[in-house]
């Protein structure tokens, strides 16, 4: 069975992967990228990106990802459709890392940059899925601006939900917060922030029954999970804040990760627990989760990979 040798393998696309590819290609690392199941990552489901520097008029997510891919390819990145299905990382500095793509193609790589991202958790009801990108979002910081002075709702009871509800309250007319249990999981400080905002209404023991609207969100039907009573409210935006799942299952028992599955990298670095393996973007960042921060760590990962290879070359020469 033939094994292809790659100097710099990038697993996953999106802002982190494509930025890593741009820098790696310019450093003559001849990067090969496998896009994964969702080429372009989460931004391909975002209709408007208004907060990425350099786009004064904003840009839609899919177009931005196409442009990032074109830029990476212009410098020599080879972008391939495919998914890593098996990995075996070397413990040795200068060792070869083995990767299987789509259960059939075998690769060995001197360096690997992991940019597989994290997937937002959704409720999974049909009306919610239908209106993703039409008023249903999993990122208030990304999309809240589009609902300025409008009525919105947010689902979740943890710190992220409380933080995003407070953020939305600064720009929206009113925020309805749906908490599944009879209390929030958020810290007392975050709960206090929510409870002191006059334009946030917290509905406990309440879940989404149906998101109303054909093309865009026009309202929400809620259900009290104790009384089974249903109620409809008018909203134009629904934000889901029930957590993210990092796409790291394939790396379990190979790389160090935290209890929720995010890859652990050295401080001020993208180095993982294995030499020559680097992680960038949402796969190792559960705090910021923005396109611009993902791109920044993609740049860092490529620079880290370049330095790693340079140090090995120097050691060989000596």
Structure tokens that stand for 160 in this block: 């992220």
The answer to whether residues 116 and 247 touch, using CB atoms and an 8 Å cutoff, is yes
Q: Which is nearest to 13 in space by CA: 75, 110, 80?
A: 80
Active site (annotated) includes residue 172: no
Would the CA dihedral through 122, 124, 129, 131 be positive or negative?
negative
Residue of 28, 60, 139, 249 with catalytic role: 139
Phi-psi region of 28 (alpha: psi -120 to 50; beta: other; left: phi over 0): left
Residue of 8, 143, 172, 282 with catalytic role: 143
Active site (annotated) includes residue 143: yes
Contacting residues for 59 by C-beta, under 8 A, at least 6 apart? 48, 49, 52
Active site (annotated) includes residue 142: yes
Q: What is the DSSP string of 33-72?
A: EE--SSTTGGGGG-S-B-SSTT-TT-B-HHHHHHHHHHHH
The catalytic residues are: 139, 142-143
């Amino acid at each position: 069975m033939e094994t292809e040798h790659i100097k710099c393998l990038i697993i996953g696309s999106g802002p982190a992967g494509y930025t890593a590819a741009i820098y790696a290609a310019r450093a003559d690392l001849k990067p090969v990228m496998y896009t994964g199941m969702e080429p372009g990552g989460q931004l391909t489901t975002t209709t408007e990106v208004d907060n990425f520097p350099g786009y004064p008029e904003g840009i839609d997510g899919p177009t931005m990802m196409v442009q990032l891919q074109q830029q990476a390819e212009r410098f020599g990145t080879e972008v391939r459709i495919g998914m890593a299905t098996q990995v075996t990382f070397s413990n040795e500095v200068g060792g070869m890392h083995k990767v299987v793509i789509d259960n059939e193609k075998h690769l060995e790589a001197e360096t690997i940059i992991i940019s597989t991202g994290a997937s937002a958790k959704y409720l999974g009801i049909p009306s919610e899925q239908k209106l993703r990108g039409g008023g249903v979002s999993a990122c208030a910081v990304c999309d809240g601006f589009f609902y300025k002075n409008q009525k919105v709702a947010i689902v979740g009871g943890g710190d992220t939900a409380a933080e995003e509800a407070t953020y939305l309250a600064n720009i929206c007319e009113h925020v309805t917060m749906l908490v599944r249990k009879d209390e929030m999981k958020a810290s007392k400080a975050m709960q206090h922030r929510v409870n002191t905002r006059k334009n946030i209404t917290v509905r406990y023991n309440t879940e989404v029954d149906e998101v109303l609207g054909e093309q865009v969100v026009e309202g929400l039907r809620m259900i009290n999970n104790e009384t089974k009573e249903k109620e409809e409210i008018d909203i134009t935006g629904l934000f889901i804040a029930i957590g993210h799942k990092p796409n790291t299952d394939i790396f379990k028992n190979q790389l160090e990760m935290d209890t929720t599955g995010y890859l652990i990298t050295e401080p001020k670095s993208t180095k993982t627990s294995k030499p020559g393996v680097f992680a960038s973007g949402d796969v190792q960042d559960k705090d910021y989760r923005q396109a611009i921060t993902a791109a920044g760590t993609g740049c860092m990962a490529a620079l880290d990979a370049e330095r790693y290879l340079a140090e090995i070359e120097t050691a060989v020469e000596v």
